[in-house]
Amino acid sequence: MNHTLFKKKQLAISLSMAMGLSTLVPHSAAAEEKSEKASDIEVIQVSGIRGSLVKSMDIKRQSAGVVDAITSEDIGKFPDTNLAESLQRITGVSIDRSNGEGSKITVRGFGPEFNLVTLNNRQMPTTGGRSFDFGDIATESVSGVEVYKTARSDIPSGGIGATVNITTAKPLSNPGLKASIGAKAVHDTSNETGDNITPEVSGIYSNTFNDDRFGVLISGSVQERNNREQSMAVDNWIPNVDISSSPDLALTDNNQRADGATWYPQNAGYAFSDNTRKRTNGQLVLQYAPTDRITATLDYTYSKLEFEKDGRSFGVWFNNGGNVSSANINENGTYTKVTEIGGDYSTNLNRGATENENKSLGLNIDWQVTDNLNIEFDAHNSSAESAGVGLGHDAFMIIGNTSCSWCENPTVNIDEKMADFSQGEIPLIDMTLTNGQAELLPSDMGTLFAGVNKDTNTNDLDQYQLKGTWYNENTGALSSINFGVSHTKVDFRTTTAYSGQLAAGWWLNSADWYDDSMFTRVDSSGLLDGFSGGGSDKLLNYYYDADFDEIVAIAESIDCDHPDGGIGACSWPADVNGKVQAGPIDDDHRVSEETTAFYAQANFETEFNGMPINITAGLRYESTDVTANSLERPAVAMEWVNGNEWSYIYADERTFSNGEGSTKEFLPNIDMNIEVVEDVIARFSYSRTLARPPVGALRSTTSFLGNPKVGQRKVAVGNPNLKPYTADNIDLSLEYYYGEGSYVSAGYYRKQVDNFLVNITTEETIDGITDPFIGDRAEQAREDLAAAGEQPSDQAIHDKINENQGTEEGTPIVGNSTDPLANFFVSRDNNVETANLWGWELAAQHMFGETGFGIAANATFVFGDVEADRDAIGYQFALPGLSDSANFSAIYDLNGLSARISYNWRDEFLTGFDQHSSPVFTESYGQWDINVNYAVNEKLTVFVEGLNLTDETQRTYVRYSEQLLRANQYGARYNIGFRYSF
């Protein structure tokens, strides 16, 4: 193919098909010049998988800096139903999955909170933090997704890993009538209780009128899915449990750790959840171009995700010492097999419902003021809300054997219970019953306890951007200058509510309240058959189920004053009819950020020794003010209850705390690319980027933790004055574009990131809270006890103070003004750590001439000084999400048949840390997907899609693989459908 014609074809593809990606194509200075250049271009229309790959390659080639993209195959047809599952095929991008679907992304080792997501170059709100959930967004109106791995001054800040821009279709970018409708039948092979086939319906309509000066686009989709999520979980691995007092203990200890540390399982249990997900998306776009120089766009985007679950979990709970009959400890200090005496075998009946709702209303005015000056004004108001609905996001009732041998209907007890982690991917659990009974019976079952959680997270965002571009029509290397100013206000709010009550029949005789017919034995032998240790390997293969509403009704009816109660609480904590839900708000946290930014960026085009060079250099300045308010009931005093027992006295009313902070940052960037020989492009980029600290760390909270026993007085304080994480980034890459849709590339990147957070504890006093343990009264009591020859124990001192002040023995002693201020261990996050990360990105894409076949593959290798030491005890700094990844796709696209099979793999990575500062890891995961489309004619296409074809499973663990934390099993999903275009 003629080289010049090939380049023209590439540019034509991007111009005619990008659908909103025009910011990546260089502007011409004058309208006449645009017309002349356009007349020289051989415009060819491409669609399908091959067309999408070609367009994505052209964007990568033509961009300043390192940019990768996924583009639509045709109007209303994005390569995947889920955006995250498309993005995982981009070099350096890995995804987190939720309920078996792509949810959030990690880029170059930086997790979701370090990546900024924009919609049409507008910053998007998120709930509960800074992690954008791609699972909320349907793809029918999406024309492309750009992943900016290097920074530009003219895009919003916030992404150290990357800035991801989602672009949507615009009617004036595609004049004339463009429309399509589509429908899918979805089958999730894991489904057990819902409809086996669920619908997905979508449509998009775009048209222009009045000589293409007015345009309207409407798109919408409704997608439903039913599935079952199976899992096994251990809630907690407890360090250094003392089991020495257990009678008749048989212990095998092979611990090889020099420090002798051990970890003991809190419990082990199976679970499943029958889930229903409904995703509703819609968009309306109105465009008006009164002249050739002015285009106004008004758009509204809406998405809603409704999720309901009906779950069961069942297993054994350990008491962690004192009643262990046998145990094995391996060389890592892990209790790999534990047998305890007594306890219960319980079933958790749980329900939950959440709604995620996103709204965005925006106005954009693009004005070509003169031939060489363009001004663009953009404003939008967007919101995101995630909330528990109905009873809440988690309402649960625990039923089980209630261990009552003297009740009217005596219940059997557990003799021993066991969990074995030494073999298989998930542990084996088992139990034996007293009196030689083989299994629990319905007569053994009662209620244990219950609770309701209901959280709400909201995020409101207002953003105003004024952008300008000046084009240089004179000779010289300078081609254009970009400049602008923006103002962004983001308001986060989190409220939590928990019932805090227990259901009827706390242990003892609650079985008396429930008819035996309410409990049904369920066989669970097929559960978790995707894991060794699950399915037919399991030793314990039954649980007792009951109707949630019937159990709640009985619990609500029980008389609190029943003489034979043995009841810890006597009412269901939330009215099932919705009159009372979850109880009063426990927490109300609010954080507001206001950022004003200015930027200027110069673009140069020149040559060096005949090699074309493009240089972009810019500077962005940002000033951010933070205000934080949290609803608190502060402690006003400490009360010495008795002996070594202490408590806080809290203020009568809750009030909002106040905190403030401010930061200022300069963010330079420079990108240079040079065509060293024909079709070989070398790139160099330097930039300084930032990501803002976690929203929770910015709260103005003062939390008094636990009881204020002597030596254990702990307070956690928020810090609204935290600095953002800042990164100095260097990128080098070499790319060879050797054919239509074919290239190879290799890139190296390095990042030095400052201001990572470390939780630092200092010893401090708090105004007004005094310590009666070291005051004058306590000192006098110690002297009196010494004079009497008595041991000054805590209890003796407490009694003597009461005696000296003439109060009754056992009267709590409250700090007063004569006592000194109490010392507290106060912990708060501070910007301390610096991290270095580097990595390699390799990619290749090849189209086999006119055969229709093609392949695409990439791999990313990530390194850094931020990896977790699984053997270390206590706090350590490490960056979650760091992992290698690789992707492979093979395609065929010819004569109306378009097919792709792809494999996406992510290596093991650090997920985070548990409550004991132990590192948590997610094991490596790979998934095969397939997509086949056949064009029956120019308008009608039928298709089949398959996801997770080999039923892959997921597994996370603490420190060592035998310390299972959670194992998840889903299943394959298959879609069959059609799309009709007008």
Average pLDDT over residues 324-336: 95
Measured between alpha carbons, how far is 139 from 135 in angstroms, rounded to an integer? 10
The residues near 937 (Cβ < 8 Å, ≥ 6 apart) are none
Give the residue from 891, 638, 671 showing the smallest Cα distance to 772.
638
Position 408 scores a pLDDT of: 55
Strand segments (E) across 712-798:
714-717, 725-739, 742-770
Q: Which of 393-397, 864-868, 967-971 is predicted most confidently? A: 967-971
Least confident range of 377-386, 432-441, 904-913: 432-441
CA distances from 499 to 310, 391, 496, 919, 970 (A): 19, 11, 10, 31, 31
The mean pLDDT value for 507-517 works out to 73
* pLDDT at 781 > cutoff 50: yes
pLDDT tens for 204-237 read 999 999 999 999 999 999 999 999 999 999 999 9
Mean pLDDT of 229-251: 90
What 8-state DSSP symbol labels residue 774?
S
pLDDT in the model for residue 80: 73
Q: Tell me the mean pLDDT in the region 602-611.
A: 92
DSSP strand E in 434-559: where? 445-471, 478-498, 520-523, 542-545
Buried b or exposed e, range 460-486, using 16+ CB within 10 angstroms: bbbbebebbbbbbeeeeebbbebbbeb
Position 349 confidence tier, pLDDT thresholds 50, 70, 90: very high
Categorize the per-residue pLDDT at 37 as very low, low, confident or very high, splitting at 50, 70 and 90: very low
The predicted pLDDT at position 402 comes to 65
Per-residue burial over 584-623, b if 16 or more Cβ lie within 10 Å, else e, is eebbbbbbbbbbbbebbbbbbeeeeeeeebbbbbbbbbbe
Helices and strands: H and E segment counts in the chain: 7, 49
Give the range among 155-164, 250-259, 559-568, 593-602 with minimum mean pLDDT: 559-568
379 has which bridge partners? 363, 464
pLDDT at 515 over 60: yes
Higher pLDDT, 546 or 558: 546
pLDDT at position 584 is 52
The per-residue pLDDT for range 827-866, each reduced to its tens digit, is 888 888 899 999 999 999 999 999 999 999 999 999 999 8
User: For the residues 396-413, what does the mean pLDDT come to?
Assistant: 66
Can you list the positions of beta strands (E) in 53-137? 67-71, 93-98, 101-107, 116-119, 122-123
Instruction: List phi, psi (to 5°) of 213.
Output: -95, -20
Round the average pLDDT of the chain to a whole number and report it. 86
Average pLDDT over residues 650-674: 92
Choice among 519-523, 642-646, 963-967 with the minimum mean pLDDT:
642-646
pLDDT (0 to 100) of residue 396: 86
**pLDDT recorded at residue 30:** 37
Q: Which of 505-514, 569-578, 618-627 has the lowest mean pLDDT?
A: 569-578
- Amino acid 430 reads D
Q: Is-contact 695 654, C-beta < 8 A?
A: no
CA atoms of 111 and 692, how far apart (whole Å): 13
Considering only residues 43 and 54, tell me which one the structure prediction assigns the higher pLDDT: 54
- In this prediction, residue 404 carries a pLDDT of 54
| DSSP-derived 3-state class of residue 134 | helix
Q: Provide the pLDDT for residue 8.
A: 35
Q: Is the pLDDT of residue 406 over 80?
A: no
Structure-block tokens of residue 439: 């299994």
Query: CA nearest 722: which of 688, 752, 760?
Result: 760
Cα radius of gyration (the chain):
32
Compare 424 and 500 and report the one with higher pLDDT: 424
pLDDT > 70 in the chain, percent: 89
Give the range with max mean pLDDT: 585-594, 652-661, 795-804: 795-804
pLDDT tens, position by position, 84-103: 888 888 888 888 888 888 88
pLDDT at 843: 95
With a cut of 70, say whether residue 72 has pLDDT above it: yes
Hey, is 510 helix, strand or coil? helix
**Residue 411: what pLDDT?**
59
Q: How does DSSP classify residue 44?
A: -
Identify the pLDDT of residue 4: 34
Residue range 377-399: average pLDDT? 90
**What is the predicted pLDDT for the residue at 76?**
61
pLDDT at 44 over 80: no
In angstroms, the Cα distances linking 264 to 260, 452, 837 are 13, 28, 34
Q: For 699-716, how does the pLDDT look when each residue is reduced to its tens digit (9 = 90+)?
A: 998 888 888 988 889 998
Which pLDDT score, from 0 to 100, does residue 227 have?
A: 95
From the centroid of its chain, how far is CA 433?
Answer: 42
Q: pLDDT by residue (tens digit) across 90-136?
A: 888 888 888 888 888 889 988 888 999 999 999 999 887 888 888 88
Res. 187 pLDDT band, cuts 50 70 90: very high
pLDDT tier at 304, thresholds 50, 70, 90: very high
Q: Tell me, what's the pLDDT at 573?
A: 43
What b/e sequence results for 324-355 when a residue is b if at least 16 CB atoms lie within 10 Å of its CB, and e otherwise?
bbbbbbbebbbbbbbbbbebbbbbbbbbbbbb
For residue 36, pLDDT over 80 is answered with: no
Give me the mean pLDDT over the 161-173 stretch.
91
pLDDT of residue 503: 46
What does the longest C-alpha to C-alpha distance in the chain come to? 108
Q: Please state the length of the chain.
A: 982
Residue 723 has pLDDT above 80, yes or no: yes
pTM for this entry: 0.86
Residue that wins the pLDDT comparison between 682 and 562: 682
- Residue 109 exposed, middle or buried by CB count within 10 Å (0-12, 13-18, 19+): buried
| pLDDT for res 758 | 84
pLDDT tens digits for range 367-381: 999 999 999 999 999
